[in-house]
């Protein structure tokens, strides 16, 4: 389709209402050291307010990002800072610029054997340098968007997105505006740079050898300053609800599960605890039983009554059975303050309903051990799920030493055996870094 002014007739121009997207034809094969601004400036005539969409591959080539790499996987390792998801040999990773994409953008297509092409080291910096050169050579006020091809969660097919930008409002914030019915927009922020990148791909294509396109008719989005670039499009990890694949999320939640002994006073969401309990009761159990019960201590009054009764029982036992003096008892019972300082308690209990009865002590003991192991698996599920909800926890064994006292304080059936207590809350301080623990010391292979 030809542009309204006749320029670009027969050049695969895509025209929308008031907006024209035109390929820049005739660019030579780019190699390391080429002055890309000069090549693009000579290839077409530009106007104030034009937005140039530049495929990252030619920037990478001009910047010498073609590297020797017999092993593409090793190149991906070098470019990635975090594995987001993995399935077989396919990896979705985050690179040093915060871009989440397949294989860190490492490209082995259309490159000499034994080489791969890496993304520009800093796509925003590349966009700024290219824009400066183009404006100097053309005398025009331009914007530059560096594009690359991404897949998208929940959607088939690929599209181009912006990975670098200069001189463009990459985001158009509609919040506070009103729609045609007078409703205030509270969430809408349009990714203008990504929309332009996708539009440019309609005329650049994947196999035509046309790496640059021009968008005309959006001069209002072109800025005098370079601006924050495409970095503004990267969602902070704290706001990203989908930053991990399934197996990675499970592993991270397990890693995040740390014993927390100091909590903020922020109330705990009872719904989050119930979701964690729902995960807990998926644990394996013997004989198709459900040997778990979870007592949620949400009342401050009940928590105080429980902990006071436990403290009295502990002091009595330590004095009468162990012969400890008051100072030693005080030091020992101080460990229980982690429960008193938590805004929420969960008391997991073991029930033996459905267990088998054996006449000999050996098999009867083994039967109980199976149920105890199942209870532990349920508690582990609970702790991991709480970590996934953003809560810290501490599984404290103290209720197991005064079960009758706990049953009385919480009005529990005689057959419920408290298996410790779990303190729950927001951690008062970040967990200290923990070095990865090697597994070989815990493995024997036969």
* pLDDT tens sequence across 53-78: 999 999 999 999 988 877 788 888 88
Q: What is the mean pLDDT of the chain?
A: 88
Highest mean pLDDT among 28-32, 133-137, 242-246, 259-263: 133-137
Q: What is the pLDDT of residue 329?
A: 83
**How far is Cα 168 from Cα 52, in angstroms, rounded to an integer?**
10
Q: In the CATH scheme, what architecture does the domain 246-442 have?
A: 3-Layer(aba) Sandwich (3.40)
**CA separation for the pair 243, 248 (Å, rounded):** 9
- pLDDT for 4: 36
Closest CA to 103 of 128, 126, 69, 146: 69
Q: What DSSP string describes 332-380?
A: HHGGGHHHHTSSEEEEEEE--TTPPP-SSHHHHHHHHHHHHHHHHHHHH
CATH superfamily ID and name for 14-65+119-239: CofE-like (3.30.1330.100)
For the chain, give the number of residues. 446
Contact status, residue 200 vs residue 213, Cβ threshold 8 Å: yes
Predicted local confidence at residue 123, as pLDDT: 96
Surface-to-core class of residue 75, CB atoms within 10 Å of its CB (0-12 exposed, 13-18 middle, 19+ buried)? buried
Q: Three-state DSSP class for 402?
A: coil
The answer to whether residue 156 scores a pLDDT higher than 70 is yes
- Most confident range (mean pLDDT) of 98-107, 418-427, 437-446 is 418-427
**Contact call for residues 212 and 24 (beta carbons, < 8 A):** yes
CA atoms within 13 A on the CB side of 66: 18
Structure confidence at residue 433 (pLDDT): 76
pTM for this prediction: 0.66
Confidence grade of residue 31 (pLDDT, cut at 50, 70, 90): very high
167, 218 in Cβ contact below 8 A? no
What is the sign, positive or negative, of the torsion defined by CA atoms of 112, 116, 121, 124? positive
Are 258 and 266 in contact, with CB atoms under 8 Å apart? no
Q: Is the pLDDT of residue 116 over 80?
A: yes
Residue 265: the pLDDT is 93
Going by pLDDT thresholds of 50, 70 and 90, the confidence category of residue 206 is low
pLDDT above 60 for 223: yes
Burial 337-353 (b: 16+ CB within 10 A, else e): ebbeebbbbbbbbbbee
Is pLDDT of 141 > 70?
yes
* Whole-angstrom distance, CA of residue 212 vs CA of residue 240: 32
> Pick from 223, 224, 232: which is nearest to 168 by CA?
223
Mean pLDDT, to the nearest integer, of 245-265?
78
Q: Where are the domains of the chain?
A: 14-65+119-239, 246-442
Residue 409 CB coordination number (10 Å): 22
CA distances from residue 372 to 177, 366, 398, 400 in whole angstroms, order as listed: 59, 10, 16, 12
**CA angle, 233 as apex, 232 and 238 as ends, to 5°?**
90
Q: Are strands 143-152 and 51-55 parallel, antiparallel or unpaired?
A: parallel
**Eight-class DSSP state of 98:** S
Q: Is the pLDDT of residue 340 over 50?
A: yes
Instruction: In whole angstroms, give the CA distance from residue 141 to residue 154.
Output: 38
Distance CA 335, CA 97 (A): 45
Q: Given strand 100-102, what is the order of strands in its sheet?
A: 80-87, 90-95, 100-102
**H/E segment holding residue 234:** none
Is-contact 188 174, C-beta < 8 A?
yes
pLDDT at 108: 79
Q: For residues 122 and 63, is the Cβ–Cβ distance under 8 A?
A: no
Report how far apart, in Å, the C-alpha atoms of 112 and of each of 108, 116, 209 are: 8, 8, 17
Does residue 148 surpass a pLDDT of 50?
yes
For position 11, what pLDDT does the model report? 43
Is 60 exceeded by the pLDDT of residue 90?
Answer: yes
């Amino acid at each position: 389709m030809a542009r309204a002014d006749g320029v670009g007739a027969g050049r695969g121009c895509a025209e929308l209402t008031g907006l024209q997207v035109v390929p820049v034809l005739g660019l030579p094969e780019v190699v390391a050291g080429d002055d890309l601004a000069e090549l693009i400036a000579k290839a077409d005539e530009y106007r104030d307010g034009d937005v140039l969409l530049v495929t990252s591959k030619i920037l990478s080539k001009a910047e010498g990002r073609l590297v020797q790499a017999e092993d593409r996987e090793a190149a991906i390792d070098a470019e990635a800072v975090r594995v987001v998801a993995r399935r077989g040999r396919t990896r979705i990773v985050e690179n040093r610029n915060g871009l989440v994409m397949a294989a860190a953008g490492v490209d082995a297509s259309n490159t000499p054997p034994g080489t791969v092409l890496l993304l520009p080291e800093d796509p925003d910096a590349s966009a700024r340098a290219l824009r400066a050169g183009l404006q100097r050579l053309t005398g025009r006020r331009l914007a530059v968007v560096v594009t690359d091809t991404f897949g998208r969660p929940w959607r088939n097919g690929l599209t181009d997105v912006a990975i670098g930008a200069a001189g463009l409002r990459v985001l158009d914030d509609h919040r506070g505006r009103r729609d045609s019915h007078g409703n205030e927009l509270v969430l809408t922020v349009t990714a203008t740079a990504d929309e332009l990148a996708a539009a440019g791909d309609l005329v650049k294509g994947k196999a035509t050898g046309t790496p640059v396109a021009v968008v005309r008719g959006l001069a209002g989005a072109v800025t005098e300053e370079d601006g924050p670039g495409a970095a503004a499009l990267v969602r902070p990890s704290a706001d990203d609800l989908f930053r991990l694949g399934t197996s990675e999320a499970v592993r991270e939640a397990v890693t995040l599960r740390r014993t927390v002994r100091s909590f903020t006073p922020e109330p705990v969401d009872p719904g989050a605890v119930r979701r964690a309990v729902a995960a807990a009761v998926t644990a394996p159990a013997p004989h198709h039983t459900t040997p778990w019960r979870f007592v949620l201590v949400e009342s401050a009054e009940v928590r105080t009554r429980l902990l006071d009764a436990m403290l009295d029982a502990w002091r009595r036992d330590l004095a009468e059975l162990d012969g400890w003096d008051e100072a030693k008892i005080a030091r020992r019972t101080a460990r229980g303050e982690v429960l008193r300082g938590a805004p929420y308690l969960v008391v997991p209990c073991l029930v033996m309903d459905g267990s088998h009865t054996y006449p000999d002590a050996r098999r009867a003991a083994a039967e109980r051990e199976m149920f105890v192991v199942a209870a532990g698996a349920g508690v582990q599920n609970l702790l991991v799920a709480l970590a996934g909800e953003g809560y810290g926890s501490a599984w404290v064994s103290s209720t197991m030493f005064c079960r009758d006292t706990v049953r009385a304080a919480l009005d529990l059936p005689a057959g419920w055996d408290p298996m410790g207590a779990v303190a729950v809350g927001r951690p008062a301080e970040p967990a200290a870094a923990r070095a990865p623990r090697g597994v070989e010391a815990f493995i024997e292979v036969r």
